[in-house]
Amino acid sequence: MPATVALFAVVVYIPSWSHPFVYDDLPIVRDNPVVFGDAPWRDVFTKPYWSRGITADPLYRPVTTASFRLNATLLGHRPVAYHVVSTLLHALAAVLLVLTANLLWNHPAAGWTAGLLFAAHPINCESVVPIVGRSELLVMIFVILMIYVRLDTIRRAAAPAVRRHLVLSLFYALACFSKEQGILGLLAVAAVDMHFRREFATNGPAPNLRESLNALFASHYLGLILTAAGVLFVRWSIFGWQRTVPDLGIDPAFNPIAAADGIERIATPFALLATAVQLIALPVNLCPIWSRGGIDLARSFTEPRVLAGFVITASLLFAAATGLKRRRRVALPVAVLLIFLVLPCHFVHAANWFFAERWLYLPAAMVALTVAGAAAFRPRATAVFVSLATVALTVNTWHYQRSWSSGEALIRVTVERQPNGYIGLVSLCQWLERHGQLDEMPAQVARLQRHHPDAADSWYFHAVLLAHHGRTDDAARAFDRYYEMARLLGAPPRIRPPALNAPGN
């Protein structure tokens, strides 16, 4: 079964192997000297994930960067080499999900269900197809390994060896150094312990709270806590006390919640949660790049998507609490969903981005693991559903992954699916300027200014058009306004349009 699921996961993404470097692949992989260049190996572990010349975002992902460098060293610095490895990592993630489902539900149909649904789901495209999605693949693999190792240890009902504690801590460190959300892996292990340790216990009275705490801190939790402390120390040694992007460095056009307050700050995470669940449950409104104009701040607690987010949160909390009390195994994937989906939605204000489908890679796996529980109890009925769903999801994935077939395709699909999205419009205007296709620019710049008048880039492209039509004085004023707005945000400004560099301008 695992081999079949792995092969299927590879087949689903073979079409992406011909894709070039696109979007964030360029600065993170193609043009990164730490990945392919003269930079020494130590830079993999001492430099930020993003170059300081691009952003001040304090991201530290040495495991992901090391995987890119090994990729380039062993297989060559070609897009196809990175795509093949990413596809194989996705297949590995699907196999680990199969093994975890079999162990959790103790039924082969559960493994089939979880593996096939996860391998085929189009929500995973942004994690598998663009090369920068590698961090999502790696953190998923290591968190699932943590869950599997802990669950297997408990199920054996034997005192775990020190070796298992060390392995668990190693996977935790690798998860944390693959992507920041890996730090939540400790909570995933706690979710396993809170329920399944009691379920698989064979005899003896239940320990009291003090005995339980003593036992926990004398076992694997000591290693996990020390690992978390080590991760934070390494980050501190590189970034100091900087935890997020400086306030002036977050452009509200990229992440509007960073500048929100009051009702918007509280309500928007619930709206994001509702959007995320909708995309997993019914992936018909997928978009390669999400931004303001495609998904906006919630202005009221009575908005339908906010109310839906409240209901989803309450339902997950109720399901986890009830499952824990009644010792239902569904409590584990539901609890991990709370940890890796609900919690991050409430901390997005600290990020340099608003929303991305790649963030749903691990949550989608937990949804598949939850659905797998139905297969354990109703295998025949579930088999029909899984067969039909897998076919539909695979077709959708094959179609959707073409969005990354080129830089232009990515931009145009984004604008097509979210016509008023800020990033899509800015990227399209930039592409049109770079390729000299200024005849199409007026309509896009007008839309950009109409829907995002407070964005600095709208004034830059307005200046480009004015300069193109010979209105250099107006263009200079528009560029000066752009420059002032960009300076206030602390962002490196764009180069002054060539037409404004003539004497007298």
For residues 253, 258, 261, 264, the Cα torsion angle rounded to the nearest 10 degrees is 60
The confidence score (pLDDT) of residue 209 equals 63
Q: Residue length, the chain?
A: 505
CB atoms near residue 185 (< 10 Å):
29
pLDDT higher at 270 or 354: 270
Q: How far apart are CA 339 and CA 267, in angstroms?
A: 19
What confidence tier does 181 reach under pLDDT thresholds 50, 70, 90?
A: very high
Q: Provide the pLDDT confidence category of residue 261 given band limits of 50, 70 and 90.
A: confident
- pLDDT confidence of residue 214: 65
Of residues 247 and 333, more confidence is placed in: 333
Q: Same domain, yes or no, for 254 and 201?
A: yes
The confidence score (pLDDT) of residue 202 equals 46
Give the tokens for residue 447. 């839309």
The C-alpha atoms of residue 124 and residue 118 are separated, in whole angstroms, by 8
Confidence of residue 211 (pLDDT cuts 50, 70, 90): low
End residue of a domain, out of 351, 376, 392: 392
Question: Do 43 and 114 have their domain in common?
Answer: yes
Residue scoring higher pLDDT (380 or 208) = 380
Instruction: State both tokens at 239.
Output: 């970034």
Query: Angle 162-176/220-239 helices, nearest 10 degrees?
Result: 30
Q: Span 168-179, mean pLDDT?
A: 96
pLDDT score at 200: 47
Q: Is it the case that residue 289 has pLDDT exceeding 90?
A: yes
Whether residue 223 lies inside any domain: the answer is yes
Residue 54 has pLDDT above 70, yes or no: no
**399 in a domain, yes or no?**
no
Q: Would you say residue 413 lies in a domain?
A: no
Q: For residue 411, is it within any domain? A: no
Identify whether residues 441 and 386 lie together within a single domain: no
Residue range 51-80: average pLDDT? Answer: 87
How far, in whole angstroms, is CA 1 from its chain's centroid?
28
Structural domain contains residue 398: no
Tell me the mean pLDDT in the region 162-184: 92
Of 392, 410, 443, which marks where a domain is finished?
Answer: 392
The single-letter code of the amino acid at 302 is T
Same-domain check for residues 213 and 316: yes
Indicate if the pLDDT at residue 475 is higher than 90.
no
Q: What CA–CA distance (Å, rounded) separates 20 from 5?
A: 27
Statement to judge: residues 368 and 431 lie in one domain: no
pLDDT digits (tens, 9 = 90+) for 477-500: 888 888 888 777 666 667 776 666
Whether residues 244 and 323 share a domain: the answer is yes
341 lies in the same domain as 486: no
Residue 354 shares a structural domain with residue 442: no
In the chain, the number of structural domains is 2
Do 128 and 261 fall into the same domain? yes
Residues 41 and 79 in one domain: yes
Long-range CB contact pairs, 273-278, < 8 A, 24+: 273/309, 273/312, 273/313, 273/341, 273/342, 273/345, 274/305, 274/306, 274/308, 274/309, 274/312, 275/305, 275/355, 276/341, 276/345, 276/355, 276/359, 276/360, 276/363, 277/308, 277/312, 277/341
The pLDDT of residue 88 is above 80: yes
* Residue 407 domain flag: no
Q: What is the mean pLDDT of the chain?
A: 87
- Residue 465: CATH number of its domain: 1.25.40
pLDDT at 175: 97
- Neighbouring C-beta atoms of residue 199, cutoff 10 Å: 12
Question: Which helix (H) or strand (E) segment is 309 a member of?
Answer: helix 304-326
Read off the pLDDT band of 305 (50, 70, 90).
very high
Give the residue ranges of DSSP H helices in 31-133.
Answer: 42-46, 62-75, 79-105, 108-120, 125-128
State the Cα torsion 255-421-138-134 to the nearest 10°: -120
- Domain identity same for 365 and 437: no
What SS3 state is found at 22? coil
Span 134-171, pLDDT tens digits: 999 999 999 999 999 998 888 876 656 778 888 999 99
Give the pLDDT mean for 80-87: 97
The string of pLDDT tens digits covering residues 391-427 is 999 999 999 999 999 999 999 999 999 999 999 999 9
Is residue 386 within 8 A of residue 374, CB to CB? The reply is no
- Minimum mean pLDDT among 3-17, 111-125, 239-253, 322-336: which range? 239-253
Residues 430 and 388 in one domain: no
Boundaries of domain holding 61: 2-392
Residue 227 has what pLDDT? 94
